[in-house]
Structure 1
Amino acid sequence: YETFYEDAFFEDKIYNEHFKTVFQSVLKVSPAQLKEVLTQLTNRIGKIPEGERTERQALVLELNEQYPGDVGILTAMFLNLVSLEPGEGIVLAANEPHAYLAGECVECMATSDNVIRAGLTPKFKDVPTLIDNLTYNNVKPTILRPEAVGAMRTYNPGPDFDEFEVRDIRVPAGATHDGDPIEGGTIMLIFEGEATCVVGSTEDLELIPDESEKGMYANTSFEMKKGEVYFVGANVGYSMENTGSGELRVFLATCNSLVYSR
């Protein structure tokens, strides 16, 4: 089974139904059956010399150490195993199961009323609800590579994800980055470094219809440092001066420009 599905991607509805049946059976397995299967699986993989194990086999052992006896360990045999290089992103459609295994990433999630979990987490799990909501589509994952313009790299998921896009801004020490006004609000995460930021030029303020909001952005200057998060209102530009000794890295989450072209 492991070998057969390693690189097999089926978009046919018949295969999707078979996949759905098997995946649901795994998630609904009894505690006794799960313990027996995991014991057999980890023992078998453990007998394989470390240098000869596949990436997926090694992952099973790693997950079993982190979450002993968890049903999520078995999902490693079903889901795509994706390794992202620095600067790459991935598109996760609604109701697609996923788990972050290692490393750091910035996640931007569209409006959602809940997050449903089934395994590999200490948080509340709701297997029946998850089973009912999954898509069971067998497709290759979509890897995002940014469009770079100056200091800014933009991750645009495309027309099917017009609720958001992510921008990665990197400013060398001593340099300044000027951000143009965006028609919607923006969440700004200071990922690395420190800076002085000025928001709201005179021209920007003319675009703000609400008089009570103008004062919030009237050439306001403030210091930013790693780990802080800010909100920038619609139609407000900004200027960031890197005041640290290293690179300033800031992530922005905002609506896709397609939203405003309708």
Structure 2
Amino acid sequence: MPSPSVRQPIALLGAGGAGRALGVALVAAGFSVSAVWSRRRERAEELASLIPGSRVYSTPHDAAGSGRLVVLAVPDSAIAPLCASLSWRPDQAVIHLAGAFGRELLAAAVQAGAATGSFHPLQTFAGAAVPTAWQGIAVAIEADPSLKGELLALAQQLGSRPFLLSPEQRPLYHAAAVLAANGLVALAGVAAELIAQATAADRATALRSLFPLLSGVLANLDQLGLPQALTGPVARADRETIDRHIEALTHTAPTLLPLYRMLAQAMLPLARERAAAAPERLVALDDLERWLASEEVAR
């Protein structure tokens, strides 16, 4: 059974990817979700069909009023306006799921005496909502002192791994999340375009050809960690291979040269960690670093 410290029932405002995943996970963990609302009623009805005992409300005001813990699972830009448009009670707690912003978006609820917090899953949600979607994922929590214990208990009951995040460190934390998630997608897109040029395949086929490689990298990160998961020419200090890459990009995709160079330079600290017991490799990596920073490569 859920911890009695988590106030219920829960009202869920927003039925996008994160909201759907959270709603289904809450029910699977035994929590009472009483209300669902979305600007698109069909989405709310679809989500409510997965949450026994919940009701679809026509207005966010009525939905929020039915819950003691209210989750604003709406786009970041809509959180503050939505919060300001609603009436809050001192016995309520209001949280949002945004990563880049904290409790400042919930100022209207604070003024009414409600407890506030943010509950950001370090995960991306797409496709059908499944009860296990929140299991094993990290959840960043920022909250009133009176609410922290509840949100920690909520995350633990969902099977997540919660941690506390200060307002000052939130932008850095979210930048890291964006680099890991969206940056990976961007790199996969760039690599797929290059594979397509090299093989005359379409981009979708090229992307599919990269899946085993990408899966292998993630498996290595999981099983070996850093820096051991780093392989390839930078890890080997293989300047000849890197030079061939740069030559090919110069003729085929010159706009990607700064990206390739920047990523190669970002690999160097990991390569040095991995070569800590190999003095000759460390010397070669120093030479490689100087070469990558030279005008010859920056051309």
TM-score by length of 2: 0.27
Larger Rg: 2
Q: Which protein has the bigger strand share?
A: 1
Q: Greater relative contact order (Cα 8 A, min sep 6): structure 1 or 2?
A: 1
